[in-house]
């Protein structure tokens, strides 16, 4: 029954690996909660808007990457196509937002 | 191994969600769809930013007075936590533990429903106390289109996960439904990603400026 022993070994290996992943995901969650509290705290604290707005936008961008790479597993192998697709989306998204916000200047 | 044995839950391979060609295709196709969704939401965000506090000739309440941070903070924590519980569900799926996966998906659905309840209360409050309606002015239209569209995504995500849970309750986990659960959880995370930008750009920036 050497085949069965082998599969228990691989099972144990993957279980351990999944546990490791979960640990990082829980850390990610804690960081996102902290970032959220900082962002709300900055706004509630009434700091200058030229300081607050860039900082909360950066915090949002970092949370976006956390979700993508840890919660949506983009840090794992075989995610080249997903990365291409989501970043093409982000590229078009930035252009769209720039176009729509600058068009109202005049 | 016969085809039937392959599909049974006690013989699942590593990463059951990507073990079949169908699963791989669903995975790639879904990321393609998420790229498109990003652009769709960007156009709504752009519209909102362009029309923020535009009341035209109508009377209206500006963002600084309209929004309350407490409720939005609770909603943010609810949705963020539901994102974590759906990660837990996928963790149990990878360990081929169907019951625990169902349990955590159930928690995800409950948290999502709580989020939705808060959002409905919020909209009700705006309409009845501030006369901030969809048709009142350009700002109202842009606001409800953006936030409401996200809310509709939450409704769709909840129904999707619930349907999967009920339809597969007695089947257990197999190679046929593992990709479905995986893709639904990706969708749920994406909803949270969009919310991160909504609470930052709409509520927090609205409160500052």
Answer whether A97 sits within 8 Å of B69, measured CB to CB: no
| Judgement on whether residues A42 and A6 belong to the same structural domain of the protein | yes
- Residue A60's pLDDT is 95
Quick check: A57 pLDDT over 70? yes
Chain-chain contact of B38 with A71 (C-beta, under 8 angstroms): no
Residues present in chain A in total? 106
Is there a single domain that holds both residue A94 and residue A67?
Answer: no
Cβ <8 Å between B50 and A93: no
- Are A47 and A95 in a shared domain? no
How much is the pLDDT for A1? Answer: 39
Alpha-carbon span B174 to B6, nearest angstrom: 9
Range(s) of the domain holding residue A33: 2-75
Give residue B10's pLDDT.
65
Q: Pick from A40, A61, A88 the residue to mutate for testing the B interface (most B CBs within 10 Å).
A: A40
Determine contact: B53 vs chain A, CB below 8 A: no
- Cβ of B37 and A32 within 8 Å? no
Number of compact structural domains in chain A: 2
pLDDT of residue B8: 62
B83 interface with A at CB cutoff 8 Å: yes
Phi-psi region of B3 (alpha: psi -120 to 50; beta: other; left: phi over 0): alpha
pLDDT at A2 over 50: no
* Residue A32 forms contact with B (CB below 8 Å): yes
Q: In this structure, what are the phi and psi dihedrals at residue A47, rounded to the nearest 5 degrees?
A: -80, 170
**Contact map slice: A 41-100 vs B, CB within 8 A:** 43-44, 49, 52-53, 56-57, 59-60, 63-64, 67-68, 71-72, 78, 81-82, 85-86, 88-90, 92-94, 96-97, 99-100
Say whether B200 and A59 touch across the interface (CB within 8 A). Answer: yes
Cα–Cα dist B166/B45, whole Å: 35
Whether residues A20 and A63 fall in one domain: yes
* Whether residues A69 and A94 fall in one domain: no
Q: What is the pLDDT of residues B114-141, one digit of tens each?
A: 999 999 999 999 999 999 999 999 999 9
Band of the pLDDT at A15, cuts 50, 70, 90? Answer: confident
**Among the partner residues A14, A67, A81, nearest to B193 by beta-carbon distance:** A67
Q: What is the pLDDT of residue A11?
A: 79
Residue A61 and residue A95 share a domain: no
What pLDDT score does B138 carry? Answer: 94
Query: How far is residue B109 from each of residues A70, B105, B158, measured CA to CA in Å?
Result: 21, 6, 6
pLDDT at B19: 87
CB pair distance less than 8 Å for A64 and B207: no
For residues A15 and A34, membership in a common domain is answered with yes
Divide the 209 residues of chain B into consecutive groups of 10 and give the mean pLDDT of each group. 62 84 94 96 96 90 92 96 95 92 97 97 95 93 96 97 95 91 96 96 91
Residues A23 and A56 in one domain: yes
Are A70 and A93 members of one domain?
A: no
B8 has a chain A CB within 8 A of its CB: no
Distance CA A38, CA B146 (A): 24
- Mean pLDDT over A31-46 rounds to 94
Same domain for A41 and A89:
no
Same domain, A25 and A71: yes
Q: Could you give the dihedral angle defined by the CA atoms of residues B187, B80, B76 and B145, in that order, rounded to the nearest 10 degrees?
A: 0
Structure tokens at B112: 């999502």
Q: Which structural domains are found in chain B, ordered by start?
A: 21-55+62-208 (1.20.120.80)
Mean of per-residue pLDDT scores for chain A: 89
Whether A55 and A84 map to the same domain: the answer is no
Q: What angle do CA B1, B4, B6 make, to 5 degrees?
A: 55
Q: Quick check: B46 and A71 CB within 8 A? A: no
Q: CA of A34 to nearest chain B CA: how many angstroms apart?
A: 11
């Amino acid at each position: 029954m050497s085949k069965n022993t082998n599969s228990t070994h691989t099972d144990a290996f993957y279980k351990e690996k999944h546990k490791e992943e979960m640990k990082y995901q829980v850390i990610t969650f804690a960081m996102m909660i902290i970032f959220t509290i900082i962002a709300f705290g900055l706004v509630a604290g009434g700091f200058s808007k030229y300081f607050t707005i860039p900082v909360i936008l950066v915090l949002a961008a970092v949370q976006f990457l956390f979700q993508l790479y840890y919660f949506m597993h983009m840090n794992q192998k075989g995610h080249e196509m997903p990365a291409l697709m989501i970043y093409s989306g982000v590229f078009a998204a930035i252009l769209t937002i720039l176009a729509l916000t600058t068009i109202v200047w005049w | 191994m016969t085809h039937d044995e392959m599909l049974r839950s006690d013989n699942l391979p590593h990463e059951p969600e990507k073990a079949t060609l169908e699963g791989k295709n669903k995975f790639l196709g879904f990321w393609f769809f998420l790229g498109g969704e990003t652009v769709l939401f960007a156009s709504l965000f752009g519209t909102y930013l362009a029309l923020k506090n535009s009341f035209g000739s109508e009377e209206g309440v500006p963002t600084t007075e309209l929004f309350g941070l407490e409720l939005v903070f609770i909603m943010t924590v609810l949705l963020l936590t539901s994102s974590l519980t759906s990660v837990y569900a996928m963790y149990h799926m990878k360990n081929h533990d169907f019951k625990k996966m169902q349990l955590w998906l159930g928690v995800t659905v409950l948290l999502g429903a709580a989020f939705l309840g808060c959002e409905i209360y919020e909209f009700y409050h705006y309409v009845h106390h501030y006369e901030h309606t969809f048709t009142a002015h350009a700002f109202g239209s842009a606001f409800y289109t953006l936030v409401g569209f996200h809310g509709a995504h939450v409704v769709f995500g909840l129904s999707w996960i619930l349907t999967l849970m009920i339809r597969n309750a007695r089947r257990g986990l197999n190679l046929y439904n593992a990709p479905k659960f995986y893709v639904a959880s990706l969708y749920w995370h994406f909803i949270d990603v969009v919310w991160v930008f909504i609470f930052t750009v709409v509520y927090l920036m609205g409160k500052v400026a």
